Structure 1
Amino acid sequence: MPRAFEDFRIGDVYELGSQKVTQEEIVRFARMYDPQPRHLDDEDLIASGWHVTAMFMRLYADEVLRHAEAEVSPGVDELRWLRPVRPGDVLTGRVTVVGVAASLSRPDCGVLQQRGEFLDEENLPVMRVMLYGLMRKRGG
């Protein structure tokens, strides 16, 4: 049974799993969406922050949204890329519920506020973001 709005509590942590970053993916993403030299140069290749965010979003969608009564997102805040991501890095994602509130425009839903983080192998954050999501209430 999918998680409804009422199933989320402040302080809940959801582990999203890990993603290994490859040189091929970095270059493929950069060529399509962010063709800056730092994302295409073999000598000191780093992943685009947008690529890192997209990888995080995939894990979040698979581990949280797919198992929830998710509607839409009214947006994100505080997206930060804190450290460069290089080929071979393994990133681990997690989200923590930091706020729950009734929706002012949708009585059948509530709004979740979650802090998302992507951590490297040393458990240091490479990306942080504040996520907002509209979740249906049980029986709503």
Structure 2
Amino acid sequence: MDDILYFEDIEIGDSFAFGPLTLSREETIAFAAEFDPQPFHLSDEAAATTHFRTISASGWHTTALFMKMFVAEMRKQPGRQAASLGAMGVDELRWLRPVRPGDTLRGTNEVIDKKISQSRPEMGIVRNKVTLYNQKDEPVLTMCPIAMWRTRPA
């Protein structure tokens, strides 16, 4: 594949957008019921007794929605996906405001750092800054994923 985006092709400051995706009440409750069954994620009545006031999505659900949108965008760019080797982790994950059923999310990804792996020179490490926004353009999540990328074959 000639259009592969190798580590060497990635520049600090490169960015792209992804999304949108609208969250339904049903999926909010279903995710929470299985993975984060705190009362304020499951019912408006329980949420009314908290600072949330109404049902809100789990932060982990919001993070999973990032991944869903991000991978959907990567699939549109086969050369980018072909060089991606997965992630090593995430730094600085922050849930900035509640995400609620009916919210439409979109995101941005910006490269903030890159370096060749010391132990595996066939790959490089890329740090990104991700921000998710709601339909009011308010940031709802920020994080810094650390991804591994193929280097160009010799």
- TM-score when normalising by structure 2: 0.85
- More displaced, 115-124 or 76-85? 115-124
Unaligned runs of 5+ residues in structure 1 are: none
The 2-side partners of 1:26 and 1:78 are apart by 24
Letter in 2 for 1:105: S
1:2 maps to 4
C-alpha root-mean-square deviation of aligned residues, in Å? 1.5
Residue 17 of structure 2: SS of its match in structure 1?
strand
Letter in 2 for 1:4: Y
Q: Percent identity?
A: 40
The 1-side partners of 2:98 and 2:70 are apart by 21
The 2-side partners of 1:2 and 1:30 are apart by 38
The total of aligned residue pairs comes to 140
Aligned match for 1:119, one of 133, 142, 149: 133
Is 1:97 the equivalent of 2:111?
A: yes
Deviations 1:89-125 (A, max 9, x none): 1111110000111111111111000001100112111
Shift of 1:62: 2.2
Deviations 1:28-76 (A, max 9, x none): 1001100000110134110000000000011112223763311131111
Aligned match for 1:19, one of 15, 18, 21: 21
The 1-side partners of 2:43 and 2:60 are apart by 17
Shift of 1:24: 0.5
Which has the larger share of helix?
A: 2
Unaligned runs of 5+ residues in structure 2 are: 46-53
Letter in 1 for 2:29: V
